[in-house]
Structure 1
Amino acid sequence: MARASAPRTQNSALIGLREDAGLSQDDLAEALNALAAKRHGKYPNVTKKTVGRWERGEVAWPQPFYRRLLAEFFDCASDELGFQRPRRTTDNAPTSDGELLPLVASPGTVDPRVDKDQQEWKDTRAVLGTFRRGLAVVAERLYPDSTVPGSEGSGVIAGTDWLPSVPVPLSELGLELDTDDSAVPAVDGSERQSAGVRPLASAEQRYHRYSHAVRDLAAPRLFENRLCFRLTALDLSQPNPRLRFGTMGFFDSIDTNEALGHEMAAHHLVRDRHGDLGVGRASWRRLAFRKHVGDPFDLSRRPLLGAIGTLTIRAGESPSMVLHQRDGGRVAGGGGMAHLLPAGIFQPSSVIPDAVRNDFSIWRNTQREFAEELLGHVEYDGSGRPIDYANREPFAGMDRARGEGRIRVYYLGVTLDALTLSGDILTVAVIEPDTYDELFGAAVTTNDEGRIPARHLPFEANTISRLHELGQLSPGASAAMNLAWQHRRALLDRN
């Protein structure tokens, strides 16, 4: 009886690589023959028919030299070519092309291509921190219809109706948590389009996710995959605006946000004739992953972490504000920028169910960040017991002050950093001077994430303009300052 042949599977990955390069099957065959001759001194006879058999799955596992040649030509790992390794039938059975499958890699060997690729990845990530703000400004130009009025040229964008016309008292903002949300985002950062920002883990395979590469090659001091609240919908059409959330892991945001920033840095940082590095012109060319993400305001496309940034204003006759200089060596995202204080990921203080429910509150999150960033409390990292806010200071004192109107908190809207498409839920906390001094008179000058300027900055137009001109503000900080300044009378008037 004739043996049934294995079913063929079209090699969509290889077809995609060729089509993305704008090549016909003939073009690819000629290019592979030329590469073999130039780099390896070999002269194979790759033809259109050869390429077609690979793509149709007639040859599911080409000879090693062909796989290597294709990987070199497309600058990818072998596992990204879409070929299917034949299954072993016995320990020593040859494969269909006469090879024995290797059991393990040769011990003690380091592939120079892997080392080179990883070093280039680390170099790009290092300069990403240095040029983060400039790259955000360039990325903003990719979305010309989504700039934030008053914050043009700061690297911030916002969706239609993402910003309320006037600040909303936080007590009037509705929050919904869907812990049973099973909808999986269409993009998670493991797609073929993100391969260019995921370095080689070995000669045969790239890192599956960007966060895995950060963990192994450039781990910051704070890098844990904690439970976070994921923004899934905004609704400003009701009398009271509402935000809906699901849950996600912190690394989910690294796999998309930081990957998008890395891609921009890889293709928009250029050297001038003197060899100095700078930011080039905005272009969608070669931004395969960003194109794949698509509409940055479609919250079903990717997991959007709900980070909360609060502009803290010490009120009184001479209102002032304080900023946070984040250290790129201590945090995974936003390093090297002057950011809002407090600012932090919207997440519970503990994974215990009671804490998840109790901490699903923008105010509770802001309180914890005040305690960590201004008072130097150990970070509430999700590993402990739920917080007794009613009886534990400084939380109880902040609650009393807010209940008496000495702390007033407002919702300003949601914006995105155009570079990474990470989100900021922007708020402003206006604190009466005596209350501020009582709560934060013993504020620390440094914390786990960076440095805090020793003096307060005047909350006035000249200061805000000057900070914008210096180019050191994070996109979220720039947007919050400008929005707060536009509505300063409503925010500072206690009547």
Structure 2
Amino acid sequence: MGAGARPHGSHATWREVRRHLNEHRHELARAADRLYPDLPRVGSTHLLTRETWTPTRPVDLHRIALRWDDRPPAPAVTGREAEAGSTLPPGLPSYSQAMEALDKPRLFEDRTCYRLLDVDWPELGFARGRYFDGVDVGEAAAHEFAAARLLAEADLPLRRLVADPTDLRPRVALPAISMLTLRRDSCTGAMTFVLHWRDPARVAHGGGLYQVMPVGVFQPAEEAADFDLWKCVVREYAEEFLGRPEVYGDAFDYGAWPLYQELTEAREDGRLRRWCSGWVWAPSPSPPRGDRDRGGDLRHGLRRRHRVERGGTRHRREGHPVRRRLSKPVRPPRADAGGRRGRPRTRLEAPPYPRLAAVNRVSTQPGPVADGADRLP
């Protein structure tokens, strides 16, 4: 094991670096961006992408085809290489095990996830993966960079092993879907959307930053056969806007679920519209959009519980809100919620999680949405 890959000298030092990472993710992400001067960016943002990840025009979420691969290539980088040693405390062989032992978030389970293999619009290729596959490389690489800044260490052996963060082949990339939920008042033209703060004590990735909602890793519910982007989106709305527990059961029936039925009907009759405009990679939204007063009532609490889960923050924008920049440290996708030509865009999380962008239009009855313009706590 080289000098640049030696493990932390103590558990206390590892915790100190982990705390620094969670407290300074925004600044660290901007600094890490400078490591990739030759990779394409999305517009004027720091989001990394590839030309093939961006379709010529937004794609209806329902038209995206998902392809399954039962025999995917094994990842070349797993986070258990000698180069990852600098990210690990003594006696713990992987970053997920280090988090489990020394800094376990409230939500931290090694669930089945869908691993993104390739992007060929409108088709996406997937295989089976595990949540800790992403943690062991992605969070470890972030920890390595934070340690280099905090402890004045120059070498980044794990990040150098990954090389191009937009290359999906070397390691497991676990896609996540971020939905920027827009509500438009057709009488005043005011547009509102919701942000929530990611509590480092509750989440494994992106702690300490603001984020659109809902958002969630693309994964099945309880190993059920629901390899479907729309089902994942509806589950995230239920969990984050309504506080529904993340327990469904293998025999869960989407067709008999009132919220799923109503949102699907709204999608089919045009009251709810959603598009995807591409994949990106962040060194870390996609919006449903809707008229507040078109008469359709999503009766399951989307309007009543607008302040939302996990310390959620409501945020209001007037006029053309998505084209304006937030002044607070949000995760990179949120810093440019409007995307190029005013379109929301998805981003891939910094080595490890991809983001899928969609734009939805939702109809709800009039009611208080968010208070205060340009304010975040």
Normalising by the smaller structure, the TM-score range is: 0.7 to 0.9
1:260-409 equivalences under 5 Å are 260-269=141-150, 285-315=154-184, 316=186, 317-351=189-223, 355-356=224-225, 359-380=226-247, 384-409=249-274
Give 1:476 shift: 2.5
CA distance in 2, matches of 1:165, 1:460: 23
Name the aligned partner's letter for residue 127 of structure 1: H
Partner of 1:258: 139
Give 1:480 shift: 4.0
1:424-435 equivalences under 5 Å are 427-434=286-293, 435=296
Residues 480/255 of structure 1: CA separation in 2 closer, same or farther (3 Å cut) = same
CA distance in 1, matches of 2:339, 2:318: 14
In the alignment, does 2:124 pair up with 1:124?
no
CA distance in 1, matches of 2:147, 2:101: 20
Per-residue Cα deviation, 1:445-492 (whole angstroms, up to 9, x for no partner): 342xx2212454447358732x1x33x11122234432472479xx79
In the alignment, does 2:83 pair up with 1:187?
no
Partner of 1:485: 342
Give 1:194 shift: 0.6
CA contact (8 A) 1:210 1:259 kept: yes
SS at match of 2:126: strand
More helix by share: 1
SS at match of 1:311: coil
Residues 478/361 of structure 1: CA separation in 2 closer, same or farther (3 Å cut) = farther
Per-residue Cα deviation, 1:67-92 (whole angstroms, up to 9, x for no partner): xxxxxxx855xxxxxxxxxxxxxxxx
Give 1:388 shift: 1.7
Over aligned residue pairs, what C-alpha RMSD do you find?
2.8
Segments of structure 2 that go 5 or more residues without pairing to the other structure are: 346-358, 363-377
CA contact (8 A) 1:146 1:160 kept: no
Partner of 1:167: 58
Give the aligned length.
344
CA distance in 1, matches of 2:324, 2:52: 25
**TM-score, normalising length: structure 2:** 0.83
Give 1:185 shift: 0.5
CA distance in 1, matches of 2:243, 2:45: 34
CA contact (8 A) 1:121 1:199 kept: yes
Per-residue Cα deviation, 1:392-417 (whole angstroms, up to 9, x for no partner): 12111111111111010111211112
Per-residue Cα deviation, 1:138-159 (whole angstroms, up to 9, x for no partner): 1111112334333424xx2112
CA contact (8 A) 1:349 1:386 kept: no
Name the aligned partner's letter for residue 128 of structure 2: T
1:24-43 equivalences under 5 Å are none
User: Whose RCO is larger (CA < 8 A, sep 6+)?
Assistant: 2
Partner of 2:39: 146
Per-residue Cα deviation, 1:226-271 (whole angstroms, up to 9, x for no partner): 00000000013xxxx2111001110111100100110110012379
CA distance in 2, matches of 1:288, 1:361: 37
**TM-score, normalising length: structure 1:** 0.64
Partner of 1:93: none
CA distance in 2, matches of 1:438, 1:372: 15
Residues 291/338 of structure 1: CA separation in 2 closer, same or farther (3 Å cut) = same
Residues 492/332 of structure 1: CA separation in 2 closer, same or farther (3 Å cut) = closer
CA distance in 1, matches of 2:263, 2:361: 20
CA contact (8 A) 1:252 1:303 kept: yes
Give 1:361 shift: 1.3
In the alignment, does 2:119 pair up with 1:234?
yes
CA distance in 2, matches of 1:188, 1:293: 10
Residues 151/461 of structure 1: CA separation in 2 closer, same or farther (3 Å cut) = farther
CA distance in 2, matches of 1:452, 1:214: 24
CA distance in 1, matches of 2:286, 2:341: 9
Deviates more, 1:409-418 or 1:339-348: 409-418
Name the aligned partner's letter for residue 218 of structure 1: D
Runs of 4+ in 1 over 6 A off after TM superposition: 491-494
CA distance in 2, matches of 1:213, 1:398: 40
Name the aligned partner's letter for residue 211 of structure 1: S
Segments of structure 1 that go 5 or more residues without pairing to the other structure are: 1-12, 22-73, 77-113, 202-206, 272-282
Per-residue Cα deviation, 1:9-67 (whole angstroms, up to 9, x for no partner): xxxx5xxx3xx77xxxxxxxxxxxxxxxxxxxxxxxxxxxxxxxxxxxxxxxxxxxxxx
> Identity, % of aligned pairs?
33
CA distance in 2, matches of 1:220, 1:390: 33
CA distance in 2, matches of 1:215, 1:373: 24
SS at match of 1:407: coil
